[in-house]
Amino acid sequence: MSQSLPPSGPDAALRGDNLRMVGKLIVVAALMFAFGYALVPVYRAICTALGINVLSVSERAVPGNSKADGTNTQVDRSRTITVEFDANARGVWHFKPMLRSVDVHPGELATVVYEFTNTQNRAMAAQAIPSYAPKQASPHFNKLECFCFNEYVLQPGESKQWPVVFVIDPKLPKDVTTITLSYTFFEVGGKTPPAPQAAAAGTEPQT
pTM beyond 0.75: no
On whether both 167 and 76 belong to a single domain, the answer is yes
| Domain CATH number, residue 82 | 2.60.370.10
What average pLDDT values come out for the chain (207 residues) when binned by 10 residues?
A: 56 71 73 52 47 38 43 76 88 86 94 91 87 92 88 89 93 94 81 45 40
Distance CA 115, CA 164 (A): 11
What is the per-residue pLDDT for 152?
86
Range of the domain at 46: 7-54
Domain assignment present for residue 2? The answer is no
Domain assignment present for residue 40? The answer is yes
On whether both 45 and 89 belong to a single domain, the answer is no
The 8-class DSSP code of residue 148 comes to G
Give the residue among 112, 193, 188 at the shortest CA–CA distance from 154. Answer: 188
On whether both 119 and 148 belong to a single domain, the answer is yes
Domain assignment present for residue 27? The answer is yes
On whether both 82 and 182 belong to a single domain, the answer is yes
Give yes or no for a contact between 138 and 118, defined as CB atoms under 8 angstroms apart. no
Q: What angle do CA 138, 175, 203 make, to 5 degrees?
A: 65
On whether both 81 and 49 belong to a single domain, the answer is no
Q: How many domains does the chain have?
A: 2
What is the per-residue pLDDT for 31?
63
What is the per-residue pLDDT for 72?
38
